[in-house]
Structure 1
């Protein structure tokens, strides 16, 4: 009997790859199945949670206390996507929390007219203030709430001077007996890297700029602030600080000069209070009493409606729950003409950026959307930006021009900061509004070129080769910078500055020489900028909206304000909605997987040095990139 032939022997290499393919195929099917069943499970959970939530928002009861206890940074718009925010909220990551200025303002405005809201409790310990301009806008809204007859009580266990500006608007301010409150003034200090970079590491940094006050990149070339930088900073900071003292003194019935003198005498007065900061605040009449949280809650229970089932002990509603109440009262379909609002917050970078950031293409697209929408009759551009890339700023400015050419008025409302590129995108508006404490100006351009030749030489690495012209490869940071190349860069920077001042002159109807006199990279407060013709009016966001509506001939109450923003993806909306349910919050809070996912999906905060680093690295084919950026702010 002849045995059957043996199967052909497979090549070992082929066997390896076939086996690898089988493993990959199995893994792929396994992951897809897990994702499918996982999503199916989430859908079922959301469905069950929705059934358990009832018919929606519960009616607000009479004599309710609105508790405004915002957590996180005060921002113009969320800097992270809905998924990241939902995960962060679910797992209790307070460092990622943000509260939108518009949400805080509309809750205060609604409470002013709401007959169900008897009083407001302010708890600001977890609020991270932004700049003075936005805090003054909230303070103004709180003062109007108090003037309407609603009682306003503030309580804190420890307040910063930014938080205190809001608390000062209350009828009564209570501080924990072991708490702290210290008004110390404004300061702006930076680290300077010249010795570390040049002497220690051998990195030669070449700075090209126009304007002796354009100090954004000075830390790379100096060991201390230049006299021009100190002069300019102290000028606007003193203006902002005196306004802060005046605001606090007015709210508390104090004398601004006396308050300033007390702050300058802190060592003596704190020693006299035995080192007790809470007692010191009481002696300075910054607070009305020292009480624990329990004592304040007992006080509010006695004044309002006691509720033993509530953890606070009195009938109340949180800020988020009240915002849901306000939203539930809106008409489902609002056919009124619109004043559109486009927010430009953060650093200005090129391309299509995610929601919450300024991109040359993406922010311009939002303005274009407003231009093409027939229901939009006017636009408010809300700017809170230190600037960034020149070309990206110009892309946004051009869309402002096109809006005006379409016959749609554009009004700029400056927030805390609208400097350098932030001013670039603002200057062509029909009207520019700024708070007196807004930081603006910084009309200047700079370029930064690091060189690592000496750094590499320290470890024995050298660069050599050939080129067809003297300028080919001249921008290589591992080769010494040719002085002739420096001339090229400076010429580009000069041209950028001429463009900037020329466009400001055209937009503001001023001679270039007059613009140059207040430019040169110098920073101004909003009040100082108005005196110099860089700003038209002093006012807040509401003033800008009213102006835009008036320019479009829209009568008060016969238009609505609509924010134009990037829409979240369906998946982001789904996850955000699920995390907002009670069952979703419980599951995500206890999930290690959710915590790991959150750590990976939360975007990192971009520091100023990171911005310059990215700008220098990503030149998009251009040997030189001009930056209109201001390292200003508090």
Structure 2
């Protein structure tokens, strides 16, 4: 019998090792395949070409070079999706490219934040200053897609399509009922008026104060959207509001009648329009070049010794290096330090797209910004979100630039610990017992509620960190403590309102921030570098063969529903004192 078990064990171990080796070599094969595919030849753009832009994927701040990002396992090739950095760079390149005559916006559904969409839209408006054309076509235009398309010289819509032009709404997720069903008690410690931040954990709907705050917030953003569409389409703002309120563009004829689109066309008619614009025959091939191919076309940029470092910080702020979905305090602070110590880097632009997170990790990054500011200009560029800890790391910068649609502010601190005693005892039948050497030896134990003494300790720390937060904003923004406190208390602000109350200096995108940084540094000729340095994908693959692949494949399959899974994961990580906008605001 012993011999039998020995053979069984050997078989199991052998099978496991074989499986691991297969996965290992298969992953190496994938990495090598991608490496070969990514070493593409330069794309030669033919004269009289049109840049074809499709944005039907989640747009991230930087192009992701992960080996599994959108990898088509059946065709053994990566489906390259460009980040916002490359999208903007290539639109700028096309503007000055004599071979590019115009842009074709092939639109339907945009999986990007409003601030990102606005930044692309601004780049397209700049492209049009050369006199080149932009034409858009969509079977259906979602609201964000239409906002982007509104810059076009001509907007075409499928005869059976419609324009989703129906206003904005904000939907918050509340967890009180779910936590009660699980017998989990959220133990919340907050400062002063900072209540809306933790509402999702103890309420089933918004408080009136929070509802009023969010209504003011989205009304301001919607006003900006209406204003910009009105300017582009020459439709009075009040008329646009009527179209939106009464859903007058819910079919193709209505969209044409009220001026939202120019023509109702099938795809072949759209292509004929391009041929007419390019002055080619009706059967001639149109030289469309996709963004991902145009990325590899020759650039006129010359090598410059002087550099502007663009440092990207995206995701929830966490201690350590973080991962593809988080902003690692150590990784970003190292990048800032590297740029500070490099004498050829004349200025730093910190690009922030973060809801905040760990107060300690935020402070680590804040310190490096302060040190960098002492030796060279530091400018912050805010993307869709730069709130709470995201604002904390921004406040010491020389200049802060935000988009009109940026969600920022949320200057506040809260602590949350979950008491799962009833879950363990009543639902799972698990009990715990212990011995300890001092009163606070088991501080943070989820198997019991906090004691009054422990709550007092946490409250004192939350108040201290809030006081430190307000003082740092006060110093960084040259405002009094009372002024900051009056606009803090966890309240969120749009970029427009943040500029009005002094939390940001300018409205604009990444390019605006880089120009400001270069001007402050006194350099005219320079090149930009991106930090932190992207991880070598072969190293990353060997480091985490299955974990990274699993996350990426799950995201690809779940698409927009992946955000709900991510929310759940983030909730489970909400332990200790946080500088974070604690509810996810999605403008729909």
Instruction: Tell me the residue number matched to 2:559.
Output: none
Deviation at 1:42, TM superposition (A): 8.7
Structure-2 change in CA distance of 1:40 and 1:277 (3 Å): closer
Q: Which stretch shows the higher mean deviation, 25-34 or 113-122?
A: 25-34
1:289 partnered with 2:263: yes
Deviation at 1:31, TM superposition (A): 7.0
Contact 1:73 1:99 in 2 (8 A): no
Instruction: Tell me the residue number matched to 1:442.
Output: 410
Instruction: Tell me the residue number matched to 2:581.
Output: 629
Contact 1:81 1:355 in 2 (8 A): no
Residues 208-287 of structure 1 mapped to structure 2, 5 A cutoff: 208-266=189-247, 269=248, 277-287=251-261
Instruction: Tell me the residue number matched to 1:185.
Output: 167
1:87 partnered with 2:71: yes
Equivalent position SS for 1:76: coil
Deviation at 1:221, TM superposition (A): 0.5
Deviation at 1:172, TM superposition (A): 0.4
Residues 469-488 of structure 1 mapped to structure 2, 5 A cutoff: 469-473=438-442, 475-488=444-457
Structure-2 change in CA distance of 1:24 and 1:111 (3 Å): same
Equivalent position SS for 1:479: coil
CA distance in 1, matches of 2:572, 2:403: 32
Contact 1:439 1:633 in 2 (8 A): no
1:65 partnered with 2:24: no
Equivalent position SS for 1:158: coil
Deviation at 1:474, TM superposition (A): 5.0
Q: Which stretch shows the higher mean deviation, 477-486 or 316-325?
A: 477-486
1:314 partnered with 2:281: no
Structure-2 change in CA distance of 1:613 and 1:27 (3 Å): closer
Equivalent position SS for 1:417: strand
Structure-2 change in CA distance of 1:607 and 1:62 (3 Å): same
CA distance in 1, matches of 2:234, 2:45: 35
Instruction: Tell me the residue number matched to 1:411.
Output: 379
> Could you give the per-residue CA deviations for residues 578-605 of structure 1, whole angstroms, max 9, x where no partner exists?
xxxxxxxxxxxxxxxx999955654755
CA distance in 1, matches of 2:32, 2:282: 36
Instruction: Tell me the residue number matched to 1:197.
Output: 179
Instruction: Tell me the residue number matched to 2:558.
Output: none
Equivalent position SS for 1:481: coil
Contact 1:304 1:315 in 2 (8 A): no
Equivalent position SS for 2:140: strand
Deviation at 1:544, TM superposition (A): 1.1
Residues 91-130 of structure 1 mapped to structure 2, 5 A cutoff: 98-130=81-113
CA distance in 1, matches of 2:519, 2:224: 30
Deviation at 1:13, TM superposition (A): 4.1
Instruction: Tell me the residue number matched to 1:3.
Output: none
Deviation at 1:542, TM superposition (A): 1.5
Instruction: Tell me the residue number matched to 1:585.
Output: none
Structure-2 change in CA distance of 1:351 and 1:442 (3 Å): same
Deviation at 1:69, TM superposition (A): 1.6
> Could you give the per-residue CA deviations for residues 89-109 of structure 1, whole angstroms, max 9, x where no partner exists?
875999x97431121112221
Q: TM-score, normalised by structure 2?
A: 0.88
1:548 partnered with 2:517: yes
Structure-2 change in CA distance of 1:479 and 1:97 (3 Å): farther
> Could you give the per-residue CA deviations for residues 396-429 of structure 1, whole angstroms, max 9, x where no partner exists?
1111111122x11110011111110110110010
Instruction: Tell me the residue number matched to 1:454.
Output: 422
CA distance in 1, matches of 2:294, 2:219: 38
1:402 partnered with 2:387: no
Structure-2 change in CA distance of 1:42 and 1:13 (3 Å): same
Instruction: Determine which structure has more spread, i.e. the larger CA radius of gyration.
Output: 1
Contact 1:245 1:260 in 2 (8 A): yes
CA distance in 2, matches of 1:383, 1:214: 25
CA distance in 1, matches of 2:347, 2:14: 56
Deviation at 1:30, TM superposition (A): 9.6
1:420 partnered with 2:393: no
Equivalent position SS for 1:493: helix
Deviation at 1:570, TM superposition (A): 6.0
Structure 2 alignment gaps of length 5 or more: 556-561
Q: Which stretch shows the higher mean deviation, 479-488 or 15-24?
A: 15-24
CA distance in 2, matches of 1:90, 1:123: 26
> Could you give the per-residue CA deviations for residues 425-463 of structure 1, whole angstroms, max 9, x where no partner exists?
100101111122211100001111222233345345555
CA RMSD of aligned residues (A): 3.4
Equivalent position SS for 1:250: helix
CA distance in 2, matches of 1:485, 1:428: 33
CA distance in 2, matches of 1:480, 1:520: 27
CA distance in 2, matches of 1:324, 1:158: 30
Deviation at 1:125, TM superposition (A): 1.5
Contact 1:77 1:356 in 2 (8 A): no
Equivalent position SS for 1:205: strand
Structure-2 change in CA distance of 1:403 and 1:204 (3 Å): same
CA distance in 1, matches of 2:74, 2:278: 31
Q: TM-score, normalised by structure 1?
A: 0.82
Contact 2:408 2:495 in 1 (8 A): yes
CA distance in 1, matches of 2:27, 2:38: 18
CA distance in 1, matches of 2:239, 2:38: 58
Deviation at 1:16, TM superposition (A): 5.3
CA distance in 2, matches of 1:224, 1:549: 47
Contact 2:159 2:264 in 1 (8 A): yes
> Could you give the per-residue CA deviations for residues 310-358 of structure 1, whole angstroms, max 9, x where no partner exists?
9xx422211111121145x555xx2420001001111111111235641
> Could you give the per-residue CA deviations for residues 139-172 of structure 1, whole angstroms, max 9, x where no partner exists?
1221222232101111001111111111000000
Equivalent position SS for 1:72: coil
Deviation at 1:41, TM superposition (A): 11
Identify which of 287, 300, 304 aligns with 2:278.
304
Aligned pair count reads: 575
Contact 1:154 1:172 in 2 (8 A): yes
Structure 1 alignment gaps of length 5 or more: 1-11, 271-275, 576-593, 617-623
Deviation at 1:626, TM superposition (A): 3.3
Contact 1:305 1:315 in 2 (8 A): no
> Could you give the per-residue CA deviations for residues 505-547 of structure 1, whole angstroms, max 9, x where no partner exists?
1212222111101100001111211121111122222221111
